Amino acid sequence: MSITVVGSIAYDTVKTPFGERQRMLGGAATHFALAASFFDQVRVVGPVGDDFGEPQLEVMRTRGTDLSDVERIAGGKTFFWQGEYGWDLNSRETHDTQLGVFEGFAPKLSQSSRDSEVLFLANIQPELQREVRAQLPDASFVALDSMNLWIDIARDSLVSAIETVDCVILNDAELRQLTGKPNLVSAAREVLSWKPAGAADGAADAAGAANATGAGPRGPSVIIAKQGEYGAALVTRESFFALPAYPLETVIDPTGAGDTFAGGFVGYVAANLAQPLSDELLRRAMAHASVLASFNVEEFGTERVQRLTRPEIDARLGELHAMTQFVAAA
């Protein structure tokens, strides 16, 4: 089984109160792949320019990620993003976004990428997300991430893309902006009501999503609202779950935390696709996601997660489990 991901592959210039890095390896698909590759085979789809280096490709190949569908565009420039964080790392300002080779990119997926049972539409133009989704009509579980830029300039296209996925992973502020609803639970409920024209009424519940192979798009049944250092919430039609972030004393660079979270979540679901998509499974996936994201922010860019090990993940998972337990009655 494998996971196909389309999203930015980037050079990032980042400034935080703890330092800065020029043109380091980044991109939503990159961070996602580094996390999801702990759980399953990842296949990355996307373009890079001829300014993209072999050492960066080597990092992306960590844990066996397949780059056959990473296309090098001759004469093109790799996606570039520049951002700066405020003193408590909770606010981020984007100084520059250059789509470069993503402008006008027409994805041509190999048969292996089209055969994946799981698809992640990482943050990139919604139009491109839709093109890739259309090439995996029978995927069992499809998740999507996006950001405020696309809500601002391509909302209709983004809504159409969301209608074709099972799971939406957004920052809580983005979920509010997307729906115009100030309350997070109502905002999630609104997105849960979206479905493609022609989909059966009352489409899939969460359990239906991963088990309805071949049924075509059903509309989202799992919504995740990321809340940065405060954790993340999970809303389905039947239930609600929330998990704090693993508490860290030292956070150096939050860039890619959201994509690493998504890699942990989607990777865990993909590795357990043989089981029904139960609440219990979704909650465990949230815990893995939270742990992966906590490692990502300890160093700049991909530095920490590229050398992370499974025993380190398991140890932190145990700690997160212990610190989120309580006894309901004396």
Residue ranges that bind ligand AMP, judged by CB under 6 A = 8, 10, 12, 26-28, 81, 97, 123-124, 147, 149, 255-259
Q: In the 3-class helix/strand/coil scheme, how is 253-304 assigned residue by residue?
A: CCCCHHHHHHHHHHHHHHHCCCCCCCHHHHHHHHHHHHHHHHHHCCCCCCCC
Which of 97/272 has CB closer to ligand AMP?
97
How far apart CA 106 and CA 203 sit, in angstroms, is 31
Rama region for 277: left / alpha / beta (φ>0; ψ in -120 to 50; rest): beta
Rounded least distance, CB 79 to ligand AMP, Å: 6
What tokens does 151 get?
Answer: 């809500």
Separation between Cα atoms, residue 30 and residue 33, nearest integer Å: 5
What order of strands is seen across the sheet that includes strand 10-16?
19-26, 10-16, 79-85, 92-98
Q: How far is the CB of 314 from ligand AMP (least distance, A)?
A: 23
In angstroms, give the least distance from the CB of 15 to ligand AMP: 13
Estimate the crossing angle of helix 155-162 against helix 126-134, to 10 degrees: 30
Measured from the CB atom, is 96 or 156 closer to ligand AMP?
96
- Give the nearest distance from C-beta 147 to ligand AMP in angstroms: 6
Give the shortest CB-261-to-ligand AMP separation in angstroms: 8
184 bridge partner residues: none
Toward ligand AMP, which CB reaches closer, 3 or 289?
Answer: 289
Sheet with 232-236: strands ordered across: 66-73, 41-49, 2-6, 118-121, 141-145, 167-171, 222-226, 232-236, 240-243
Q: Which two tokens stand for residue 155?
A: 């909302």
113 vs 123, which CB is nearer to ligand AMP?
123
Structure tokens at 130: 């839709």
Helix ranges, 102-227 (H): 111-114, 126-134, 148-153, 155-162, 172-179, 184-192, 206-209
Give least dist CB 203 to ligand AMP, A: 28
Cβ proximity to ligand AMP: between 279 and 299 the closer is 299
- Residue closer to ligand AMP (CB basis): 97 or 177: 97
CB of 255 to ligand AMP, least distance (A): 5
| Closer residue to ligand AMP (CB): 104 or 318 | 104
